[in-house]
């Protein structure tokens, strides 16, 4: 693709190019455009640059792409895109952008010929529930006979293919490439988990959404966002900036969970059409009289005056809201309520989301991804409400992430469980024992009885906690 065509993509989303220089000398903008080189690939990792490629230098969280410009040029980069406050290198065509992350998103969308325009794109954001909601939407769409692709925390999958997913929302180039492959595989509906990082770092700029879904909002990622207001500013951007702009703005829809206080706040912030979901009958789609048990969730679903009974094998009251959000998407797409309920019934479990583990001694064992205070409380409360015996929780907190949630999660586990087993969970660069100490500050605020591991060999009689840093032993 010609450079001139890619520059047009930058103009389309306002990723301003403040200067363009040529390989033959500065102050020669005309010759750079006249040269109009053919761009054969787009990159943001210098080690992946191919001859004839365009390299965008972005300032990352751990490294700065501007430090690798020479490496990109050595590998054959035809054009370099740099931030406005960086001196442009000599001897190579250079675009100076006001924000290289926005430029990367625009250039990637243009290079892959705007794949999001060719399919229905559904973006899900919120602190918790994105993955479960994405699986539910996928089942509903498939039950409706629609070719579906998904990109999320667990993996990316479409047309019978499945790939690992290192992050919730891929970098813009990777995302646009994935969408292009979905388009080429005749996928008609793409479901994306959209993280707050992705919104803040412009990974989804140039990705035009038909439907945005809001699940909920609670504490997480304060290591990155620093405070809840900044975190919320990122989350709501999907509904206040992205949905109301671009080629789909006239038909865009926001599906909003009104069970969450921030959902009720959000419904007055977005200008697009809204489908409000909740347990109150006045919502556009409502769940009436849900009953939760170890066999799942049952109740009645109603929209547009129609009422149908439904059953979901998913366990936990918090999944009522995930089901509502997914059903809201089905309603937005004009899928019948009967098909929506069939899709909901067809999802038996999600990897790592209250995922049942077989046990031959009559115990109920679940694995859950819960990594925020709200998610942990929801999961434990769901299990405890249904338990016929005692509740034991084995948990830890990840390193290099929001430290403020560690004592909160410790207090939740110790307060709600008969036994809390505090262990290590992906400490990254931190000392696992220091993370555990921060968790224990919360544990000890609500529970005074500490067990030694050897004391538990014959069981336990009092509510308490035990520390075992080795996760396998825990």
pLDDT digits (tens, 9 = 90+) for 197-238: 999 999 999 999 999 999 999 877 667 767 989 989 999 999
pTM: 0.87
What is the pLDDT at residue 42?
Answer: 97
CA dihedral of 386, 391, 397, 402, whole degrees rounded to 10: 50
Q: What counts of helices (H) and strands (E) characterise the chain? A: 16, 22
Cβ distance 338 to 135 under 8 Å?
no
What number of other Cβ atoms are within 10 A of residue 425's Cβ?
18
What is the pLDDT at residue 451?
Answer: 97
What is the pLDDT at residue 22?
Answer: 61
Among residues 295, 114, 285, the alpha carbon closest in space to that of 209 is found at 114
Q: Give the mean pLDDT of 52-63.
A: 92
Share of the chain above pLDDT 70, in %: 94
Cβ distance 368 to 128 under 8 Å?
no
Where does the pLDDT of residue 13 fall: very low under 50, low under 70, confident under 90, or very high at 90 and above?
A: low
155 token code pair: 């993996």
Give dist(CA 282, CA 451) in Å, integer. 50
Where does the pLDDT of residue 21 fall: very low under 50, low under 70, confident under 90, or very high at 90 and above?
A: low
Q: Give the mean pLDDT of 419-446.
A: 97
Flag whether pLDDT at 27 surpasses 60: no
Name the average pLDDT for the chain: 92
Share of the chain above pLDDT 90, in %: 79
Q: Give the mean pLDDT of 111-127.
A: 97
Give dist(CA 323, CA 334) in Å, integer. 17
Higher pLDDT pick, 228 / 180 = 180
Where does the pLDDT of residue 89 fall: very low under 50, low under 70, confident under 90, or very high at 90 and above?
A: confident
Give dist(CA 116, CA 243) in Å, integer. 13
Give dist(CA 110, CA 176) in Å, integer. 9
pLDDT in tens, 126-174: 999 999 999 999 999 999 999 999 999 999 999 999 999 989 999 999 9
What is the pLDDT at residue 394?
Answer: 98
Q: Is 274 left (phi over 0), alpha (psi -120 to 50) or beta?
A: beta
Q: Where are the beta strands (DSSP E) in 29-92?
A: 41-43, 53-56, 79-83
Torsion sign (Cα): 387, 393, 399, 401: positive
Higher pLDDT pick, 4 / 175 = 175
Flag whether pLDDT at 354 surpasses 80: yes
Cβ distance 235 to 225 under 8 Å?
no
- Cβ within 8 Å of residue 233, ≥6 positions away: none
Q: Give the mean pLDDT of 424-449.
A: 97
**N-terminal to C-terminal alpha carbon distance within the chain:** 55
What is the pLDDT at residue 277?
Answer: 98
Least-confidence region, from 83-92, 115-124, 178-187, 251-260: 83-92
Among residues 413, 410, 402, 414, the alpha carbon closest in space to that of 436 is found at 410
Give dist(CA 224, CA 206) in Å, integer. 23
Residue the block writes with tokens 């998913």: 314
315 token code pair: 């366990």
* Helix, coil or strand: residue 378: helix
What is the pLDDT at residue 386?
Answer: 79
């Amino acid at each position: 693709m010609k450079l001139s065509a890619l520059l047009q993509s930058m103009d389309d989303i306002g990723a301003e190019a403040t200067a363009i220089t040529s390989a033959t000398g500065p102050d020669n903008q005309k010759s750079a455009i006249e040269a109009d080189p053919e761009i054969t690939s787009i990159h943001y990792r210098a080690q992946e640059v191919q001859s004839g490629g365009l390299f965008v230098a972005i300032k990352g969280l751990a490294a700065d792409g501007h430090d690798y410009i020479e490496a990109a040029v050595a590998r054959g980069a035809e054009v370099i895109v740099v931030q406005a406050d960086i001196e442009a290198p000599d001897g190579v065509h250079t675009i100076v952008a006001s924000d290289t992350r926005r430029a990367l998103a625009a250039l990637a969308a243009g290079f892959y010929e705007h794949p999001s325009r060719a399919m229905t794109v559904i973006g899900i954001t919120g602190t918790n529930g994105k993955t479960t909601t994405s699986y539910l939407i996928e089942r509903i769409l498939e039950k409706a006979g629609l070719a579906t692709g998904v990109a999320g925390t667990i993996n990316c999958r479409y047309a019978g293919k499945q790939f690992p997913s290192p992050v919730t929302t891929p970098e813009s180039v990777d995302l646009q490439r994935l969408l292009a492959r979905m388009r080429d595989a005749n996928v008609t509906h793409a479901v994306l988990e959209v993280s707050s990082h992705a919104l803040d770092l412009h990974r989804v700029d140039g990705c035009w959404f038909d439907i945005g879904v809001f699940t909920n909002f609670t504490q997480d990622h304060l290591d990155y966002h620093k405070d809840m207001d900044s975190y919320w500013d990122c989350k709501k951007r999907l509904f206040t900036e992205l949905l109301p702009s671009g080629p789909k703005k006239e038909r865009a829809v926001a599906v909003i969970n009104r069970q969450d206080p921030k959902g009720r706040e959000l419904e007055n912030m977005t200008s697009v059409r809204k489908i409000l979901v909740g347990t109150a009958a006045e919502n556009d789609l409502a769940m009436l009289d849900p009953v939760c048990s170890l066999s799942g969730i049952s109740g009645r679903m109603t929209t547009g005056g129609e009422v149908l009974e439904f059953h979901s094998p998913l366990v936990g009251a918090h999944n009522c809201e995930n089901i509502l959000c997914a059903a809201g998407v089905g309603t937005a797409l004009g899928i019948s309520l009967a098909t929506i309920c069939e899709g909901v019934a067809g999802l038996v479990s999600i990897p790592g989301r209250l995922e049942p583990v077989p046990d031959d001694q009559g115990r109920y064992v679940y694995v859950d991804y819960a990594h925020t205070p709200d998610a942990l409380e929801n999961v434990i409360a769901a299990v405890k409400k249904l338990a016929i015996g005692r509740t034991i929780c084995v948990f830890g907190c990840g390193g290099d992430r929001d430290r403020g949630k560690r004592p909160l999660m410790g207090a939740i586990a110790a307060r709600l469980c008969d036994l809390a087993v505090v262990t290590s969970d992906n400490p990254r660069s931190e000392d696992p024992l220091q993370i555990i100490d921060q968790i224990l500050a919360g544990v000890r605020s609500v529970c005074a009885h500490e067990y030694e591991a050897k004391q538990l060999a014959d069981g336990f009689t009092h509510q308490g906690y035990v520390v075992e840093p080795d996760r396998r032993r825990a």
